[in-house]
């Protein structure tokens, strides 16, 4: 099957396994507009691929995803149309992942930050290289995490344990992510993709209808619990995107990233 996607997201086929690769390695797979669009639209294309049975999701190079591309996000400050479209598309990404019928294995090969963290943690099985970490730094740049941890981390991990990370944006090392319930297990870095592949082949050999039905029932719990929280989260994020504090924090971060 031919996928209609920009080069920022690649789909590699090997038998019944599809490996989806966030493909901006020089930018640590930071999410720009084409990659954001692709993450919203790849799932229906994968579901229409009748030969696919399992998906592995990973990042090219040394990161899973460093979060939002600063140039793209900064453009929202003076472009309300693009800002609102990004929020709509962000909700689509989360909804499509939850609705997707095939099992998804996240192979977190490096930092998974912001939206990258959300996409990883919403996968069915989250394998992390021992050197990788998660982080949701929305608050640090003056935003509510509408597409992030505020909505669904409390469904996966004790609220008291996750608040500190959500409020500060601090990194969660791979071993801590497993302990908290945000990841399944860790591997040595060189063993991450081979382990993901072994697991994918095992899942591909399972009775397909039983596996899909089990995923559908499990994800009903997440979808039901998230409905109100996600609506509130995106509404709150929209408000904070227009705040003076967000503008100030984001521009300062961009200047720092540019070495100014």
| CATH (domain of 45) | 3.90.226.10
Return the pLDDT at 133: 98
Return the pLDDT at 98: 92
pTM of the full predicted structure? 0.95
Report how far residue 77's alpha carbon sits from residue 63's, in angstroms, rounded to the nearest whole number.
27
Return the pLDDT at 229: 84
pLDDT digits (tens, 9 = 90+) for 223-249: 887 888 888 888 999 999 999 999 999
CB-based burial, 161-184: b 16+ in 10 Å, e otherwise = bbeebbeebeebbbeebbebbbbb
| 254, part of any domain | no
| 85, part of any domain | yes
pLDDT digits (tens, 9 = 90+) for 169-208: 999 999 999 999 999 999 999 999 999 999 999 999 999 9
Cβ atoms of 142 and 250 within 8 Å: the answer is yes
Could you tell me if residue 39 is left (phi over 0), alpha (psi between -120 and 50 degrees) or otherwise beta?
A: alpha
Full domain range(s) for residue 47? 9-191
| 151, part of any domain | yes
> pLDDT under 70 in the chain at which residues?
259-260
Return the pLDDT at 3: 96
Return the pLDDT at 260: 53
Number of domains in the chain: 1
Return the pLDDT at 222: 84
Half-sphere exposure of 77 (CA within 13 A, CB side): 18
Cβ atoms of 189 and 131 within 8 Å: the answer is yes
| 219, part of any domain | no
| 240, part of any domain | no
Q: Which two tokens stand for residue 160?
A: 């008291």
The closest alpha carbon to 77, from 257, 232, 250, belongs to 250
Report how far residue 129's alpha carbon sits from residue 139's, in angstroms, rounded to the nearest whole number.
26
Looking only at the bridges linking them, the beta strands covering 9-14 and 125-129 are unpaired
| 164, part of any domain | yes
Handedness of CA 225, 155, 142, 259 (dihedral sign): negative
| 212, part of any domain | no
Q: What are the beta bridge partners of residue 12?
A: 19
| 168, part of any domain | yes
């Amino acid at each position: 099957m031919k996928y209609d996607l920009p080069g920022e997201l690649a789909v590699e086929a090997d038998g019944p396994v599809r490996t989806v690769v966030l493909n901006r390695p020089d930018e640590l797979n930071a999410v720009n507009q084409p990659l954001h669009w692709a993450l919203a639209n790849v799932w229906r294309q994968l579901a229409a691929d009748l030969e696919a049975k399992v998906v592995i999701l990973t990042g090219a190079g040394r990161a899973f995803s460093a979060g939002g591309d600063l140039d793209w996000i900064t453009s929202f400050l003076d472009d309300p149309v693009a800002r609102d479209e990004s929020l709509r598309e962000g909700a689509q990404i989360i909804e499509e992942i939850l609705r997707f019928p095939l099992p998804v294995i996240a192979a977190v090969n490096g930092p998974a930050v912001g939206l990258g963290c959300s996409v990883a943690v919403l996968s069915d099985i989250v394998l992390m290289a021992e050197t990788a970490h998660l982080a949701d730094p929305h608050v640090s740049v003056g935003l509510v995490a509408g597409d992030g941890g505020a909505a669904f981390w409390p469904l996966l991990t004790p609220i008291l344990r996750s608040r500190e990370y959500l409020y500060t944006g601090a990194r969660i090392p791979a071993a801590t992510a497993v302990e908290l319930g945000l990841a399944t297990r860790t591997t040595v870095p060189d063993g991450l993709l081979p382990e993901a592949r072994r697991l994918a082949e095992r899942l591909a050999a399972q009775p397909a209808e039983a596996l899909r039905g089990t995923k559908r029932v499990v994800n009903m719990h997440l979808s039901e619990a998230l409905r109100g929280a996600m609506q509130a989260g995106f509404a709150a994020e929209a408000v904070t995107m227009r705040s003076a504090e967000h503008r100030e924090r984001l521009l300062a971060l961009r200047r720092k990233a540019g070495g100014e």
